[in-house]
Structures are given as C-alpha cells and as structure tokens.
Chains A and B, each alone.
Chain A
Amino acid sequence: MSLHHATVASALAVVAMLTGPTWFVATGDELRGLPAWRMFEDAGLGVCDVQFADETGRALDRYRAHGVPHRFVAPDALFALDDPEAARGVARSFCPEVDRVDITMRCATPEGWRPQPVAPLRCSRP
C-alpha cells in the first residue's frame, strides 16, 4: 500500500469514525450503519428505588420484616420492585407493627429519576 493510498484510506476511516456520532449529535437519531458510541445508554432504565417509612417518618427495613439476613440473598420479588403493586405488596409485611406505611417510589427514565406516586398503605384496611 503506497503512502498516497494509506493517507486516503486513513482519511476515509476518520470520516467513518466521526459520521455516526456527529450525525447523532446533530439530529438526535442514530444511524443503523454507523453507531454513535452511546455505550450503556439503556442500562438501568425502568428500575425503581422504593423506600418505606412509618407514620413518624422512621425508615422500615423490608429485609428484616421478611426475615432475610441480607439484600443479596433476598428473593427477586423483594429485591427488585418495579411497580406500585409490588411495592404495596412488600409494604404489607410491615403490618400490623405499624398503622400506616408511606411508600416513596421513583423510577429511572433517560431524563433521570421520575417520582412514582403510591398511596400510603393503611394496615387497618383490608
């Protein structure tokens, strides 16, 4: 390969490297043929963080309530709560020790955390 050919090939290679990501920055669309190098962009989307507290604001430990010694040995249904119904189901485990369980839930979107309203659980009601 001559110097001239190598130079032309290198220039084309750099154009190929830059086209995909530059196109994405300019238009917001990713070319299928040329990736924009948005690695790991979808990771964590849709997951939710859920916190439980009693009526005084004291944090409630979901693992202790289920007799699980550590989060890493918890069953999936307790470890990953992805919808309000699952969160309310876990909240029931705090009854009847508390009267009311406040549930603070937020779910991950590309724009960051989005609050997910969940009504408090009143243990006295079925």
Chain B
Amino acid sequence: MTLPPLTSRQAVLGLRFGFALIAWSQVGGHLHLGMARSPWHAALIVAFYIMATGLSLTWGRTWSVGTGIALALVYHVFGDHDGALQRHQVWLLASSLVWLGLSPVEGWRSPTAASWPPRRETDPGLRLLRVQLSVLYAFGVLHKLTPAFLSGDRLEAIAVEQWFGSDLPSLHVGFVAAAWATVGIELALAVGLWHRSLRPFLARLGLLLHVGFAVLLPVQTFSVLALLHYVAWCAPTTAKRRREEQALTRAWAG
C-alpha cells in the first residue's frame, strides 16, 4: 500500500469536506445563539454557521478562509465559556482551513478546463498543510524530550488514568520503549515525509500511529485531523507534476 495518488482537485475537495464535517460535529455541537452575550457574539456565531454551510456546499476559497477565521475567533471568544472550543484541534482546524483557502480553485467545474491546473508554480494550500504537519510533529517531539516522558513516567500515568486505574502492572520496560518509539516515529514523520522514497513507509507508520492514538486514548478529533493532513501528500504541488496530472486527466476524459 502506498499513498493513493490524487489530483490536486480531489485532494483539496476531500480536505474541504473532511474539515467541514469536523467543524460541524466538533464545534457546531458546542456553539449556539444562547451563548451570545452581545450582538458581536451573535454575529460571530451566525457567521460561523453561514461560512461552514458555504464550505460544505460550494467551492470558493472565501468559505474556507471565512470558516477558518470564524473558528479562530470562536476559539478566543467562547473558549473560556466551553473548554471544548479552546482545544488544540479547534485552532488546528481553523488554521488548516485558512491554509487550504490558499489552494487554487479556478476551473473546478470542468475536468478538462484549460485553466486547470492553474499557471501558478505550486499549490500553497497543500504545501502549507504539509508544513503544518511537520511542525506539529517536530514540536511534539521537542516537548517530549523531558526526563518525565523518556523515562516512561508520563505514559505510565496516562495508562493509569485511561486503562489500569491505580494498580499499574509491572510493564515499566514496555512504557520506556513506547515513549522512545513515539519520539522516534514522530521525529521520523516530521522530517522523513519530505523524502519521496521514505514517504510510503512513513505514511503507513503515521496512519498506524494516529489510529493507535484514536483507539487507545481519547484523542479522536485530533487524530482524524492529523490523518487528513496526509491527504495533502497524495497530490502534486509542483508545476511539472501538475502538468503531468493535466495530461493524464485529458487522456482519461477523452
């Protein structure tokens, strides 16, 4: 299994709808007009829902960037009211939507439109999502380089909280190995995904890591957000690759 090859259009569309679903389910469930304490609050809530609707139903970059900005404001304005709105994943979703808004959307309606792919050299939206994934992993590693984490103590405490209760089995070596493996895998993902030959293997490793997080820990929304970032690695972003993609699309269409 390798990463499935996608056209830029497929990747951007998939990401838009993936992000839209997360916005509706994770933020929508916590945001309603009853929370408004001023006309500005009410306007922000209404704006979020209008933007999220547009994001779900139409192509334009306005809806993506608009939803992202609305989410960032929701994070700040309502985060103190409802902790669910001030979690990392809300900010990550907001920034991802803004970055995705930088992807070109010209010529979406026709599979062989002459304006597709656009003349621009790169797809900045997908590139920024790739960079963002690396930044997440890199700083995730940096924050884990502490004696508490590398000694396995932090993972043991999480295991006590999530699994074993106050009776931790004697698995200390396993927790130390898991701590070092987590740091090693995240470091490899931060750097190695940029290397074409390592990407298929590391993408599989990344998928396993996030599915593992989702199954073992209460980190579902963040996991699926991180997994969506891998879609940005499935489509070409350079001019040469995009011309190849255009030729393939035309041959396929006719």
Q: State the A residues within 8 Å of B (CB).
A: 1, 3, 6-7, 9-10, 13-14, 16-18, 21, 25, 32-33, 35-41, 43-45, 47-51, 62-63, 71, 74, 79-82, 87, 108-113
Contact B165 A108 (CB under 8 A): no
Q: Kindly state the separation between the CA atoms of A4 and B76 in the bound complex, as whole angstroms.
A: 31
Contact with A along B230-246 (1 / 0, CB 8 A): 00000000000000000
Given contacts A80-B165, A112-B148, contact A25 B142 (CB under 8 A): yes
Q: State the B residues within 8 Å of A (CB).
A: 76, 88, 91, 95, 98-99, 102, 104, 120-122, 124, 127-128, 131-132, 135-136, 139-140, 142-143, 147-148, 151, 153-154, 156-162, 164-168, 217, 219, 222
Known pairs A39-B140, A40-B217 / 17 extra A-B pairs, C-beta < 8 Å: A1-B102, A1-B104, A6-B122, A6-B124, A13-B95, A13-B99, A25-B142, A48-B160, A48-B166, A49-B168, A50-B166, A62-B167, A79-B166, A108-B157, A111-B147, A111-B148, A112-B148
Contact B102 A9 (CB under 8 A): yes
Given contacts A37-B135, A108-B153, A108-B160, contact A16 B166 (CB under 8 A): no
Binding site of A, secondary structure by majority: helix, strand, loop or mixed?
mixed
A75 to chain B, nearest CB (A): 11
Contact A33 B156 (CB under 8 A): no
B226 to chain A, nearest CB (A): 10
Contact A112 B151 (CB under 8 A): yes
Contact B139 A113 (CB under 8 A): no
Contact A3 B121 (CB under 8 A): yes
Closest B residue by C-beta to A108: B157
A37: which B residues are within 8 A, CB to CB? 88, 135-136, 139-140, 143
Q: Kindly state the separation between the CA atoms of A14 and B138 in the bound complex, as whole angstroms.
A: 14
Contact A13 B153 (CB under 8 A): no
Q: Kindly state the separation between the CA atoms of A18 and B132 in the bound complex, as whole angstroms.
A: 9
Closest B residue by C-beta to A90: B166
Binding site of B, secondary structure by majority: helix, strand, loop or mixed?
helix
**What are 19 contact pairs spanning A and B, CB under 8 A?**
A6-B102, A6-B122, A13-B95, A21-B135, A21-B142, A39-B88, A40-B219, A41-B143, A44-B157, A45-B157, A48-B166, A74-B165, A81-B165, A81-B166, A108-B157, A112-B147, A112-B153, A112-B154, A113-B153
9 closest A-B pairs by beta carbon, nearest first, are A44-B157, A108-B157, A112-B153, A79-B165, A112-B148, A44-B158, A21-B139, A81-B166, A44-B161
A60 to chain B, nearest CB (A): 11
Most chain A CB within a 10 A radius of its CB, from B136, B143, B164? B143
Contact A17 B160 (CB under 8 A): no
Contact B161 A3 (CB under 8 A): no
Given contacts A3-B121, A6-B102, A113-B156, contact A13 B165 (CB under 8 A): no
B142: which A residues are within 8 A, CB to CB? 21, 25
